[in-house]
Amino acid sequence: MKYPVPIILASNSPRRRQMLSTAGISVEVVPAGVSETARTSETPDRLVRRLAATKAITVAVRIPDSMVIGADTVVALGRNILGKPCNPEEARAMLALLSGKRHQVYTGVAVYREASQRGWVTVEVAEVGFRELDPAEIDAYVATGDPLDKAGGYGIQGSAGNWVVNFSGNLETVVGLPIDAVRRLLDRATRVLTEVGHG
């Protein structure tokens, strides 16, 4: 479907931009710069839903005649919500926590247009199981710097993918942007824009 207004990605994630480009969706990148801290007692699905919507709205108010994509990803193990580690020590702690366990990955996706003040949001969930990790291999992985910009301290598309022993769901949810969900929301927004004459 051809989109009638510019598409903005409210994220500075190179992975998300590349995934959209590969899918044939051309975007401009305008990072939202919002705090990703969870609120007290906030569940993983509510957190990624709120942050995806907040990112999209934050950028859309600056560029009202566009459709803005917001996204957020977290890893959850029981009641522990794992976002991006702040430093190598936190990355090591996250990976040690995930060692030998199954965990969930939540990605929220939102599309919002300020000019019409209409938006949509969805949450996708995948489940990943890791084998037992040796502390030395955790240290070696952390030393690459790869964990520091990734929820849960790992990127499944890189060498950490070798740790996975079972998986269910959409791999793109774990990478950080389920493209099918993005297309659904963009197409829904486009139908509304067409009906109201881009108003």
Active-site amino acid positions: 72
Tokens 């079972």 belong to 166
| Pairing, β 67-77 against β 7-9 | parallel
The token pair at 112 is 């919002």
Q: How many residues does the chain have?
A: 199
Tokens 């969805």 belong to 122
According to DSSP H, which parts of 3-110 are helical?
A: 14-22, 44-60, 88-98
Cα distances from 101 to residues 93, 146, 153, in angstroms, run: 14, 21, 15
Residue 119 · residue 49 · CB < 8 Å: no
- 69 forms beta bridges with 9, 111
The token pair at 140 is 């070696």
End-to-end CA distance of the chain: 19
